[in-house]
Structure 1
Amino acid sequence: MSYFKLNLKTLRKHKSLSQSALSDELSLTRSTLSAYENGSAEPNFKTLMRISDFFKVNIDRLLRQDMSKLTDLELKKIEEGYDVDLRGKHLRILATTVDHDNNEQIELVPTEAKAGYTAGYSDPEFISELPRLSLPFLDQNRKHRVFPISGDSMPPIPHGSLVIGEYLDDWSQLNERQPYIVVTREDGIVLKNIVDRVTKDGVLELHSTNPEYESYEVHIKDVLEIWRFVHFISKDIPDHNLNNAELSKQVSLLQRDVRKLMDKEK
């Protein structure tokens, strides 16, 4: 039994919205929204995703849990963005492609499609239009995707490299300060080392290996996908050598970071 029609009505009333106001927010007609609420019609996948995003409720909860039994405080927490499924026990959507033998393929997100990935990452049509690669050295039992990376924030990986990620379904198993490809609503696709502060503060702390770049925080509700870094492909050979001036500069930057950490401890 799906609780969708009941939950839609519950969430709408919790936000004190009329059917007309909510239908405007969701780009629907009032009659369509009314049909959803009385169960005479069901939304397609794109509309379901739009409703899920608007109310900040994961799709599995929207369909399978009777949210009318939640307290006002619990509904408020969800409204504030705390309906985060770290372990992937509920429905986490990953659009993918398969070959004629039903084996998952490795999609390449080209540079020109990078900006559109945050909007199309869960759209099967968008994903199906991406070019595919054959990389037989990868674990065939894992899902992989290739992303373009720009900038010099993550040496020794050069600017313009392609990074290969392994899809991470369980976000509670992050290895701190290990590189991950993180897809967020605001920043798009980034390669960073992660410090997991979700349990304490609801955020991931993202670090670059280049000390000239300061770390920053991303709220977990703004994270769309996480891929564990596996390999990178580049036409350039990474340069590990530093001259004295560069070495001195990096030592100064590290000293600055140490002072900041000491100040936080006070």
Structure 2
Amino acid sequence: MESEGTKVFFRNNLLFLRKRKKFSQEHLAKLLGFTRSKYTALENGQTENPLLADLIKISEFFSISVDRLLKTDLSYWSEYDLRKMETGGREYINGKNLRVLSITVTPDNRENMEYVPIKAKAGYSAGYADPEFLAALPKFSLPNLPSGGTYRMFPTTGDSMLPIPEGSEVVARYVQDWKTLNPATLCIVILRGEQDFVFKEVTVQKNGTLLLRSFNKNYAPYTVEANEVLEIWRYVKHQTDKLPEPETDLQEIKKMLADMQHKWTKE
């Protein structure tokens, strides 16, 4: 199924799309109404000229045009672009259609709260949707958390969010719809690849990007594209074993001047 000078990606795309859905060959064949042998021949490239009716059926099942199914290498597309194509170009910045959140539960069917230790931090963006990865994380419960949410605890590193101390543990609630976030909401943001996750003030901007800002003014704010974000978890509370340092005379003077400036502004 490849003419001279024309690269056809149908076989590779079919394999890619099946694995993306985590279907076995037998299961996908059943969903498409094919025999197992017919589907295997299509995916293995043993069918030289697939029937147009079969191409249309596969195209409709995956919500991808026949033209793209044949002529585009979909394995190079980001998950964001694939989702955008499947939904006919509709944006999904709200995060609702990204995926179903993987969770673990107790024997009595209550959601666990997982803790992501430092040693697992770098691997979270790869294993966040893997039930085996989540099952291996430490689990615990905290009192007085609002009911009905999914919570996780994440470690913080660096000093970008001072005065929240470096090494604090942040308890955060999963955000299903990103558009519900108020500007400058404190969040844990899970990023793709080796960027792992960051703790920042998050503002979802009108152009679809996310503005990330640190408390520490030594760190400049920056933006990320929506397709670089895997999950967002809204800050609930944090815990730390570091005692606050007593204020110095200079800090007290700065605070007094700030209070005076605020008073003058109001007057």
2:188/2:233 contact within 8 Å kept: yes
Which residue, out of 173, 179, 204, partners 1:196?
204
Instruction: Tell me the residue number matched to 2:9.
Output: 17
Instruction: Tell me the residue number matched to 2:226.
Output: 220
Task: State which drifts further: 63-72 or 124-133.
Answer: 63-72
1:156/1:240 contact within 8 Å kept: no
1:23/1:33 contact within 8 Å kept: no
1:163 aligns with 2:170: yes
1:110 aligns with 2:101: no
| CA deviations over 1:23-55 (Å, ceiling 9, x no partner) | 599999xxx88995875569xxxxxxxxxxxxx
C-alpha spacing 1:103/1:21, structure 2 compared with 1 (3 Å): closer
**How far off is 1:218 after superposition?**
0.8
C-alpha spacing 1:242/1:68, structure 2 compared with 1 (3 Å): farther
1:172 aligns with 2:179: yes
Query: Normalised by the size of structure 1, how large is the TM-score?
Result: 0.64
Aligned length: 206
Unaligned runs of 5+ in 2: 1-6, 40-58, 85-90, 255-267
**How far off is 1:70 after superposition?**
10
- C-alpha separation between the residues in 2 aligned to 1:229 and 1:106? 14
C-alpha spacing 1:27/1:170, structure 2 compared with 1 (3 Å): closer
| CA deviations over 1:53-76 (Å, ceiling 9, x no partner) | xxxxxxxxx99763339999xx9x
- C-alpha separation between the residues in 2 aligned to 1:123 and 1:211? 36
**How far off is 1:136 after superposition?**
1.5
C-alpha spacing 1:191/1:36, structure 2 compared with 1 (3 Å): same
**How far off is 1:18 after superposition?**
4.5
2:104/2:111 contact within 8 Å kept: yes
1:181/1:192 contact within 8 Å kept: yes
Classify the secondary structure of the residue corresponding to 2:203.
strand
- C-alpha separation between the residues in 2 aligned to 1:204 and 1:180? 12
Classify the secondary structure of the residue corresponding to 1:165.
strand
Unaligned runs of 5+ in 1: 1-14, 43-61, 249-266
| CA deviations over 1:205-260 (Å, ceiling 9, x no partner) | 10001000011111100100000000001001244847749x99xxxxxxxxxxxx
- C-alpha separation between the residues in 1 aligned to 2:136 and 2:114? 9
- C-alpha separation between the residues in 1 aligned to 2:35 and 2:218? 58
- Identity of paired residues, percent? 36
**How far off is 1:195 after superposition?**
2.1
C-alpha spacing 1:87/1:240, structure 2 compared with 1 (3 Å): farther
Classify the secondary structure of the residue corresponding to 1:127.
helix
- C-alpha separation between the residues in 1 aligned to 2:212 and 2:173? 18
1:195/1:204 contact within 8 Å kept: yes
- C-alpha separation between the residues in 2 aligned to 1:63 and 1:107? 38
Which residue, out of 54, 65, 68, partners 1:68?
65
**How far off is 1:131 after superposition?**
0.5
Instruction: Tell me the residue number matched to 1:92.
Output: 99
Instruction: Tell me the residue number matched to 2:88.
Output: none
Classify the secondary structure of the residue corresponding to 2:65.
helix
1:19/1:34 contact within 8 Å kept: no
Classify the secondary structure of the residue corresponding to 2:106.
coil
**How far off is 1:183 after superposition?**
0.4
Instruction: Tell me the residue number matched to 2:259.
Output: none
Instruction: Tell me the residue number matched to 2:140.
Output: 133
Rg larger in 1 or in 2? 2
**How far off is 1:90 after superposition?**
3.4
Classify the secondary structure of the residue corresponding to 2:103.
coil
1:152 aligns with 2:144: no
Output the aligned Cα RMSD.
Answer: 4.0
Which residue, out of 211, 228, 231, partners 2:217?
211
C-alpha spacing 1:162/1:89, structure 2 compared with 1 (3 Å): closer
Q: Supply the AA of the counterpart residue of 1:211.
A: K
